């Protein structure tokens, strides 16, 4: 028999894997179950692992695989309707573990300093699926050091989710004057668009809205050693 919290946790993990393909973080699990500390999450994970409901994928941070779902009645005591997991959680197919590799287009190099000409390439880059969420993605090789304070280094592969919109503070691929692309923080400043670096050695870049076209938001990074 699973406790109510164990049941709620495995349903939360299964729902998140189904929705995004990525395991929730321990902080997200703590908040979802209204626990006071992450140590409580660790104990629940260990209990579910011992009972054969989940397993941790080796050498992968935040990687959990749901092996089986409990019966809907397999929890201790009745739960109020507001706290009960969705009825479909126990009946839906088990989510696939987020440990497979997919290939996404690799479109040349993108500046993390002064904008450089955007390149289109036909090569593909293998990427762990767990690094990507929903949507269409492509990769760009980072050139320059203007985003180092955001942990984005020269030679990294920026994994980009295609989109034409962005909120203030998001890291985006911005196409400038339909010819040059750069990776920067996106911000609106009055009637202008400001592209901010993450390196004090570089100055912000300001453009008219008609000069800037968002081509994607940063979804992850891949680094080779």
Decide if 216 contacts 225 (C-beta within 8 A).
no
146 is a catalytic site residue: yes
184 is a catalytic site residue: yes
Among the listed residues 30, 39, 184, 201, the single catalytic one is: 184
SS3 206: strand
Residues 6+ apart with CB under 8 A from 73: none
> In this structure, what are the phi and psi dihedrals at residue 163, rounded to the nearest 5 degrees?
-165, 155
- Which residues are registered as beta bridge partners of 175? 181, 213
Among the listed residues 5, 23, 30, 146, the single catalytic one is: 146
Q: What is the CA radius of gyration of the chain?
A: 21
Distances (CA, A) of 216 to 105, 131, 139, 165, 209: 14, 16, 10, 8, 16
> What amino acid positions are annotated as catalytic residues?
146, 184
């Amino acid at each position: 028999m699973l406790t109510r919290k164990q049941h709620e946790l495995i349903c939360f993990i299964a729902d998140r894997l189904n929705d995004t393909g990525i395991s929730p973080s321990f902080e997200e699990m703590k908040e979802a179950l209204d626990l006071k500390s992450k140590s409580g999450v660790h104990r629940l994970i260990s209990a579910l692992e011992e009972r054969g409901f989940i397993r941790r994928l080796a050498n992968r941070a935040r990687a959990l695989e749901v092996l089986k779902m409990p019966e809907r009645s397999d929890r201790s005591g009745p739960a109020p309707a507001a706290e009960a997991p969705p009825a479909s959680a126990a009946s839906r197919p088990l989510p696939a573990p987020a440990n497979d590799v997919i290939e996404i287009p690799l479109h040349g190099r993108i500046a993390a300093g002064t904008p450089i000409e955007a390149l289109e390439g036909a090569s593909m880059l293998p990427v762990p699926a767990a690094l990507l969420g929903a949507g269409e993605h492509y990769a760009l090789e980072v050139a320059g050091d203007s985003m180092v304070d955001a942990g984005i280094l020269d030679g990294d592969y920026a994994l980009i989710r295609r989109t034409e919109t962005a909120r203030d503070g998001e890291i985006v691929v911005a196409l400038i004057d339909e010819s040059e692309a750069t990776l920067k923080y996106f911000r609106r400043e009055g009637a202008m668009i400001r592209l901010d670096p993450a390196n004090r050695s570089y100055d912000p870049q300001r453009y008219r809205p008609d000069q800037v076209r968002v081509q994607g938001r940063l979804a992850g990074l891949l680094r080779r050693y």
